[in-house]
Amino acid sequence: MPILLLEGLLLIAMIAIAAAIILGKKLLAATVIYCGFSLIAMLLYTVVGAADVAFTEAVIGTISTVYFIIAIKSIKGKRADDERK
Amino acid sequence: MKENKSRKKLAAGLIIVIIAVGTAAVKIGAFLPTIGDADTPANSYVANYYITNAVKETHSYNIVTAVLADYRGFDTLFETCVLFLSALVTMMVLFGKEKVPKMPVKNLAEDKYSAAFGGDIMDASFRIVVPIILIYGIYVLFHGEISLGGGFQAGALIACAYLLDRIIPSIRMGRGKIKEETALIIASMGAFFYVITGILPMFNGGNFLEFAKLPFGSSLAAESIVKLHTAGILMIEVGVTVCVMGVIIAILEVVLERTDFDE
């Protein structure tokens, strides 16, 4: 199966971003990087030709990031950030 | 020191997993067919029918919308129900928790820098962005048959506009907010509208979700049947939009009301 160069680059970027999310020290930073993961996924869907899915991914990526940020704010009292360090 | 060691272990494990999965994916990927190949099973049976007949039968130039809302309308109905259930369960889990009272602030300028999200730039830019997002949401809803999008995306965009307005200026001012119960009722109304669209043809002698028997047109000419299909798709999209919007707002409000931003 021939993989386009652009697809390969996007996939490598996706792997790098996923590793950065797991290894990152701060929860908030990981959430914002996760938004970037969603962006790369959107570009990948566009390259493959699924424009509708890409559109959904773009909108839902934004909304889920906001949800994650609110969730982090609401568990701050339980020292989630400290446990992660 | 100890933290560093565990982190290094995690990184090493991660690299091993990435290499193993990557090698396996490349090996297996060699056997898989090319994306969009005409000979693959996915493209050789029902997809051909959709491509040749969808535009003729539904006047929906975006075949994805035609498949989702017309040919596979029953699936989409239960997807909408699953979304509604997710909001319902979130409310059931969190409803017993106590709300965090938020001090209402009369003048935002006094309190701008202690607000949870915000500041000058956010406050100025969201005023420009929100109307554009709203208009785009409506556009996506009504042009779902012609261009990208459809009910789900439109609902998410409208909810996105609400979400921006809610978290940037009015988290402290408490104005213009929808109660979580109200949002859930709105979501249920969207799903209800979908089901009503499905039931309407049954009064006219059709099956559930059979748009050709919608009681709007009298003549049985082929053209009017196509128009009925278009009307049915639009009604379903409106239902999905309202449901998705209500679900996203409900989950947001449920969590937001029980979050303390002041620490």
Contact assignment for B34 to A1 by CB distance below 8 Å: yes
- Indicate whether A11 belongs to any domain: no
Average pLDDT for residues A9-15, to the nearest whole number?
89
What is d(CA B36, CA B54) in angstroms, rounded to the nearest whole number?
Answer: 18
**Residues of chain B contacting residue A32, judged by C-beta atoms under 8 Å apart:** none
* Distance from the B31 Cα atom to the nearest Cα atom in chain A, whole angstroms: 7
Per-residue pLDDT tens for A33-65?
A: 999 999 999 999 998 888 889 999 999 998 999
Total-model pTM: 0.84
- Does the residue A1 lie in any domain? no
Per the CB < 8 Å rule, is A70 touching B64? no
Of A1, A22, A74, the CB nearest to B255: A74
Is the ipTM higher than 0.90? The answer is no
Do A23 and B10 count as a contact with CB atoms less than 8 A apart?
A: yes
In chain A, what percentage of residues exceed pLDDT 90? 31
User: Which residues from B are below 8 Å from A14, CB to CB?
Assistant: none
Select from B7, B153, B252 the Cβ nearest to the Cβ of A59.
B153
**For B175-201, how does the pLDDT look when each residue is reduced to its tens digit (9 = 90+)?**
667 888 999 999 999 999 999 999 998
**Residue B151: exposed, middle, or buried by beta-carbon count in 10 A (0-12, 13-18, 19+)?**
buried
Examine residue A59 and state whether it is found in any structural domain, yes or no: yes
Examine residue A4 and state whether it is found in any structural domain, yes or no. no
The ranges of chain B with pLDDT < 50 are 113-114
Which pLDDT score is estimated for B109?
55
SS3 of residue A23 by DSSP:
helix
Instruction: Give the tens place of pLDDT for each residue, B223-238.
Output: 788 888 888 899 999 9
CB contacts < 8 A (A, B): 69
- Interchain proximity B34–A77, CB inside 8 Å: no
Instruction: Give residues 64 to 83 of B whose Cβ lies within 8 Å of A.
Output: 64-65
pLDDT value at position B117? 59
Total of domains in chain A: 1
Is A5 contained in some domain? no
Q: For residue A23, what are its two tokens?
A: 């290894």
User: Mean pLDDT across chain A, nearest whole number?
Assistant: 83
Interface contact A55-B149, CB threshold 8 A: yes
Q: What is the pLDDT of residue A3?
A: 62
pLDDT of residue B154: 93
Q: What angle do CA A58, B160, B251 make, to 5 degrees?
A: 105
Phi, psi (deg, nearest 5) at residue A50: -95, 80
Domain ranges of chain B: 62-257
| Number of neighbours of residue B101 by Cβ within 10 angstroms | 8
How would DSSP label each residue in chain B?
Answer: -HHHHHHHHHHHHHHHHHHHHHHHHHHHHTTSPPTT-TTSHHHHSHHHHHHHHHHHHH--SSHHHHIIIIITHHHHHHHHHHHHHHHHHHHHHHTTSPPPP----S-HHHHGGGSSS--HHHHHHHHHHHHHHHHHHHHHHHTTTTSS--HHHHHHHHHHHHHHHHHTTHHHH--S---HHHHHHHHHHHHHHHHHHHHHHHHTT--TT-GGG-TT-----HHHHHHHHHHHHHHHHHHHHHHHHHHHHHHHHHHHHT-----
Nearest residue in chain A measured CA to CA from B62: A52
* CB-based contact A51 B7, cutoff 8 Å: no
Searching chain B, which residue's CA lies closest to the CA of residue A84? B3
CB–CB of B150 and A52 under 8 A?
yes
Estimate the crossing angle of helix B222-257 against helix B151-167, to 10 degrees: 30
Question: The domain containing residue A59 runs over which residues?
Answer: 17-84
Q: Out of B11, B18, B163, name the one closest to residue A66 (CB).
A: B163
Q: From chain B, pick out residues whose CB is under 8 angstroms from the CB of A74.
A: 255, 258-260
Instruction: For residue B65, list chain A residues with Cβ-Cβ distance below 8 A.
Output: 52
Neighboring chain B residues of A2 at a CB cutoff of 8 Å: 34
Tokens for B139? Answer: 């556009």
Residue A83 pLDDT grade (very low, low, confident, very high; cuts 50, 70, 90): low
